[in-house]
């Protein structure tokens, strides 16, 4: 039996007296796209903070390739192949597109590999090649999201965590971002955990999904099955 690429075992996380996660368990198989959906405040971003080591869980365990990440610093997790694209993109506004992308390779020392990956990123996102010398602040929301994803790819991740990549961007860019996630997973073999309020998009491109409600796991199953579940449709798909 294969070991999940990422596994959460009864993870609980609190902020002061507020419990953000309550014994959340989930697993992400290597090479898969798994969605984590739920309404605003359900605990989705808190889950990512726990996985990346930005917030230490009070209870439970997080395993990467079967090894506990407890006490591992966030930058060490990046070196182990974990990359996150944060909600809101956080592009460096006064840096060029090129320099924003290169910031993602800060843990690497292989100049040749960095140059090759930089070319690969701008080939995947042709719009970034057009904007290569422009400042981050001059880009549209969709273009900034492409920069944020490209920056994460520059670290050569094995596990890519995406926090609300469709938030605040135009519909045509949402389609492009969804397509790029599928390509990154299929062509580069990168495992993806996709956190989204756009549940329809998330369930369409993922193979398995988890639903969070106020910090607790409410439901999980194959994405195609959840996409046609009447309760999921009513609560998250506007049906």
Burial class (CB in 10 A: 0-12, 13-18, 19+), 135: middle
| Whether the predicted pLDDT of 81 surpasses 80 | yes
Give the strands of the sheet with 67-68, arranged side by side: 18-28, 6-15, 59-64, 67-68
Residue 193 has pLDDT above 70, yes or no: yes
- What is the percentage of the chain residues whose pLDDT exceeds 90? 71
Q: Is residue 220 part of a domain?
A: yes
Say if 122 falls within a structural domain: yes
Confidence of residue 1 (pLDDT cuts 50, 70, 90): low
Average pLDDT, the chain: 91
Say what the pLDDT of residue 234 is. 78
218 within a domain of the structure (yes/no): yes
Band of pLDDT at residue 25, cut at 50, 70 and 90:
very high
Domain count, the chain: 1
36 is a domain residue: yes
pLDDT digits (tens, 9 = 90+) for 154-181: 999 999 999 999 888 888 888 889 999 9
Who wins on pLDDT, 53 or 231? 53
Examine the pLDDT at 239 and tell me if it is beyond 60. no
Per-residue pLDDT tens for 52-74? Answer: 999 999 999 999 999 999 999 99
Q: How many Cβ atoms are within 10 Å of 188's Cβ, its own excluded?
A: 14
Percent of the chain with pLDDT over 70: 98
115 inside domain: yes
The CATH number of whichever domain residue 80 belongs to comes to 3.40.50.300
The C-alpha angle with vertex 175 and arms to 172 and 181, in degrees rounded to 5, equals: 140
The answer to whether residue 1 sits within a structural domain is no
Q: Residue 120 has what pLDDT?
A: 93
* DSSP structural state of residue 109: -
Give mean pLDDT, residues 73-91.
89
2 pLDDT more than 70: no
**pLDDT category of residue 184 using cuts at 50, 70 and 90:** very high
Query: Which pLDDT score, from 0 to 100, does residue 170 have?
Result: 84
Q: How much is the pLDDT for 4?
A: 81
Q: Is residue 120 part of a domain?
A: yes
Domain assignment of residue 117, given as a range:
6-236
Tell me the pLDDT band of 144, cut-offs 50, 70 and 90: very high
Token pair listed for 177: 């971002």
Mean pLDDT value across residues 130-134: 92
Q: Rounded mean pLDDT of 223-238?
A: 82
């Amino acid at each position: 039996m294969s070991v999940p690429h990422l596994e959460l075992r009864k993870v609980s996380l609190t902020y002061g007296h507020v419990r953000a996660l309550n014994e959340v368990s989930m697993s992400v198989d290597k090479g898969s796209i798994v969605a984590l959906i739920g309404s605003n405040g359900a605990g989705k971003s808190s889950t990512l903070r726990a996985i990346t080591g930005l917030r230490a869980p009070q209870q439970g365990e997080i395993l990467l390739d079967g090894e506990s990440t407890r006490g591992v610093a966030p930058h060490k997790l990046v070196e182990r192949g974990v990359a996150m694209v944060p909600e809101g993109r956080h592009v460096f506004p006064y840096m060029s597109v090129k320099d924003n992308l290169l910031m993602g390779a800060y843990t690497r020392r292989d100049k040749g590999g960095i140059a090759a990956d930089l070319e690969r990123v701008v080939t995947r996102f042709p719009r970034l090649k057009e904007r290569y010398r422009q400042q981050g602040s001059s880009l549209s929301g969709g273009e900034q999201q492409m920069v944020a994803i490209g920056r994460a790819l520059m670290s050569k991740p094995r596990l890519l965590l995406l926090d609300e990549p469709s938030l605040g961007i135009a519909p045509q860019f949402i389609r492009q971002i969804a397509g790029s996630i599928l390509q990154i997973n299929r062509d580069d073999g990168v495992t993806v955990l996709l956190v989204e309020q756009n549940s329809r998009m998330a369930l369409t491109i993922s193979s398995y999904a988890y639903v969070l409600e106020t910090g607790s796991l409410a439901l999980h199953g194959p994405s195609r099955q959840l996409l046609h579940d009447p309760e999921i449709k009513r609560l998250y798909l506007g049906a």
